């Protein structure tokens, strides 16, 4: 739901009744991940996607039905050996979809409206919804922000959340906060003992976090192409270089930020996290060595450095001289990018971006033709992205 927050927020602000179909869990070669959503309003307008086309028609009908009867529904779609062209995922996957009506007067509407508003503004927020459990809890939701403030909390009581179950609200808020910290969307299972409502529960926790950062060091032509590719992949892109004549917004109009500063000085003062990627394109020792000495000791997702193999060997020796260990040096992707035979700045940017995706997703970088590796390397873990708490042994 939060992946289409901007448009959904506008719909809610306009007072439209909507139904939202959200991917809860996937298996096999299902094309979309948990959290992907399709929404339909009372006029039949649809936005978003839950399957890349395989089951959109059937899910659309479920949304229209949910708008009429006001009842949430959990539906599973899967591949059928008997009829590959029946409603299902002909690519061989399985997908569980939760359809939730969000109509005027529904208890969860104010909470979901707050979640959509926060996500549309680019703020970090998580929302938890009941997937399966007692009928009186279905359709309810609880919102959590990074500071631990839960939507609907006032003077120690819960006005939103899951009704007359404050212990459940507190449990879910704590668990959803952990999902938010990791920027993860997935399923949370709470056993009968932990739920405090007399039955086990399954919840979908959706997290929306600001876009990950890509910091490109070196204001060169290759950087301009990489900025465009980084934006296409959904990164917030910064270009940093100490040379003001080259480091201008006119040369990098698509960058979110252009910084004239020594690279290592900027990296020392700017926030990074486990999703940040650092691309060092300067291939100049006076910039590279202090920058990489710092970068390879930060908890970031990727560090790559441009240069020939001779440049790499010289840089590697210099980094050893300033004290980097074998383990730290092993994090460096140099020469940067995958072997695509790239020549132009655009081709080189594609090579770098391909390596970033492969590192992020656990891909091998080899051609899929004739290979026997999974197409979606993170599909299996997403099948049951579950935390179980309070289960009875």
Reported as a single tens digit per residue, the pLDDT across 369-393 is 876 666 666 543 333 333 334 433 3
Q: Where are the domains of the chain?
A: 3-7+12-100, 107-210, 213-361
Q: Is the pLDDT of residue 251 over 50?
A: yes
Share the mean pLDDT of the chain. 84
Higher local confidence (pLDDT), 350 or 25: 350
Instruction: Round to whole Å and give the CA distance between 248 and 219.
Output: 8
Which residues, at least 6 apart from 327, have a Cβ–Cβ distance to it below 8 Å? none
Report the pLDDT value the prediction gives residue 381, as an integer from 0 to 100: 36
Of residues 139 and 129, which shows the higher confidence score?
A: 129
| Whether the predicted pLDDT of 246 surpasses 90 | yes
Of 111-120, 138-147, 269-278, the one with minimum mean pLDDT is 138-147
pLDDT score, position 28: 67
Q: Which CATH number fits domain 213-361: 3.30.1330.10, 3.40.50.620, 3.40.50.300, 3.40.50.720?
A: 3.40.50.720
User: Quick one: pLDDT at residue 359?
Assistant: 93
- Is the model's pLDDT at 232 over the cut of 80? yes
HSE-CB of 230 using CA atoms within 13 angstroms: 27
pLDDT-based confidence at 322, cuts 50/70/90? very high
How many Cα atoms within 13 Å fall on the side-chain side of residue 210? 13
CB atoms within 10 A of CB 225: 19
Residue 237, CA distances (Å) to 86, 257, 305 in order? 43, 7, 17
CB neighbourhood size of 56 (10 A): 16
Cα 214–215–216 angle (5° rounding)? 115
Distance (Å, whole) CA 239 – CA 256 = 8
pLDDT in tens, 51-109: 776 688 899 999 999 999 988 888 888 755 443 344 455 566 788 899 999 988 887 88
Range in 147-161, 292-306, 348-362 the model is least confident about: 147-161
Q: Return the top range by mean pLDDT from 166-175, 227-236, 282-291.
A: 227-236
Confidence grade of residue 366 (pLDDT, cut at 50, 70, 90): confident
Res 107: pLDDT: 79
The pLDDT, as a whole number, for residue 158 is: 31
Q: How far apart are CA 108 and CA 3, in angstroms?
A: 18
Structure token pair of residue 310: 């001779």
Lowest mean pLDDT among 1-15, 168-182, 276-290: 168-182
Percent of the chain with pLDDT over 70: 85
Q: Which residues contact 287 (CB under 8 A, 6 or more apart)?
A: 217, 218, 242, 262, 263, 264, 280
Distances (CA, A) of 339 to 23, 188, 311, 347, 348: 35, 40, 17, 11, 10
Give the strand pairing for 125-132 and 201-208: antiparallel
| 176: enclosing H helix or E strand | helix 166-182
What mean pLDDT comes out for the span 324-328? Answer: 95
pLDDT digit string, tens, across residues 273-299: 888 999 999 988 899 999 999 999 999
Q: How far is CA 353 from CA 14, 184, 233, 281, 335, in A?
A: 39, 22, 8, 13, 13
Whether 216 and 239 have beta carbons less than 8 Å apart is answered as yes
pLDDT at 161 over 80: no
Q: Which of 203, 208, 272 is nearest to 240 (CA)?
A: 272
Question: Rounded CA gap, 83 and 264, in Å?
Answer: 59
Q: What is the mean pLDDT of residues 7-33?
A: 85
pTM: 0.67
| pLDDT tens digit sequence for 27-53 | 766 667 888 899 999 999 999 988 776
Q: Provide φ and ψ at 39, rounded to 5°.
A: -125, 145
What Cα–Cα distance (Å) separates residue 270 from each residue in 182, 215, 242?
A: 20, 10, 15
Q: Beta-strand (E) ranges in 106-222? A: 125-132, 141-144, 153-154, 157-158, 186-190, 201-208, 213-217
Beta strands in the chain (DSSP E): 18-27, 37-41, 46-48, 73-78, 94-102, 125-132, 141-144, 153-154, 157-158, 186-190, 201-208, 213-217, 236-241, 257-260, 277-280, 302-305, 332-333, 386-389
Supply the pLDDT for residue 14: 94
Rounded average pLDDT over 207-219: 93
């Amino acid at each position: 739901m939060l992946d289409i927050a901007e448009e959904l927020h506008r719909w809610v602000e306009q007072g439209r009744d909507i139904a939202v179909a959200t991917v809860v869990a996937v298996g096999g070669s299902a094309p979309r991940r948990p959290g992907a959503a399709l929404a339909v309003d009372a006029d039949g307008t649809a936005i978003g996607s839950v399957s890349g086309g395989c089951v959109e028609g059937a899910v659309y009908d479920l949304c229209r039905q949910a708008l009429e009867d006001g009842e949430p529904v959990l539906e599973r779609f899967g591949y059928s050996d008997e009829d590959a062209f029946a409603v299902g995922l002909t690519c061989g996957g399985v997908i569980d979809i939760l359809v939730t009506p969000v109509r005027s007067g529904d208890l969860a509407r104010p909470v979901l409206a707050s979640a959509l508003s926060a996500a549309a503004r680019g703020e970090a927020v998580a929302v938890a919804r009941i997937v399966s459990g007692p009928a009186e809890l279905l359709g309810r939701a609880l919102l959590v922000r990074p500071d631990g403030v839960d939507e609907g909390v006032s003077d120690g009581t819960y006005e939103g959340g899951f009704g007359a179950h404050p212990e459940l609200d507190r449990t879910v808020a704590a668990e959803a906060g952990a999902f938010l910290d990791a920027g993860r969307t997935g399923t949370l299972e709470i056993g009968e003992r932990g739920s405090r409502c007399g039955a086990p529960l399954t919840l979908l926790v959706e997290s929306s976090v600001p876009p990950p950062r890509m910091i490109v060091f070196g204001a060169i032509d290759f950087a301009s192409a990489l900025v465009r590719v980084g934006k296409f992949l959904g990164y917030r892109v910064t270009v940093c270089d100490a040379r003001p004549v080259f480091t201008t917004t006119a040369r990098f109009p698509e960058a979110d930020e252009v910084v004239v500063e020594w690279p290592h000085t900027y990296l020392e003062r700017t926030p990074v996290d486990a999703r940040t990627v650092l691309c060092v394109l300067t291939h100049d020792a006076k910039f590279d060595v202090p920058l990489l000495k710092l970068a390879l000791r930060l908890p970031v997702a990727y560090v790559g450095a441009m240069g020939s193999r001779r440049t790499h060997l010289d840089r590697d020796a210099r980094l050893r001289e300033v004290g980097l260990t074998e383990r730290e040096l092993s994090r460096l992707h140099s020469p940067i990018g995958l072997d695509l035979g790239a020549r132009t700045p655009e081709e080189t940017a594609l090579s770098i971006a391909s390596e970033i995706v492969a590192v992020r997703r656990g891909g091998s970088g080899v051609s899929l033709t004739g290979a026997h590796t999974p197409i979606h390397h993170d599909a299996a873990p997403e099948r049951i992205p579950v935390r179980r708490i309070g289960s009875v042994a």
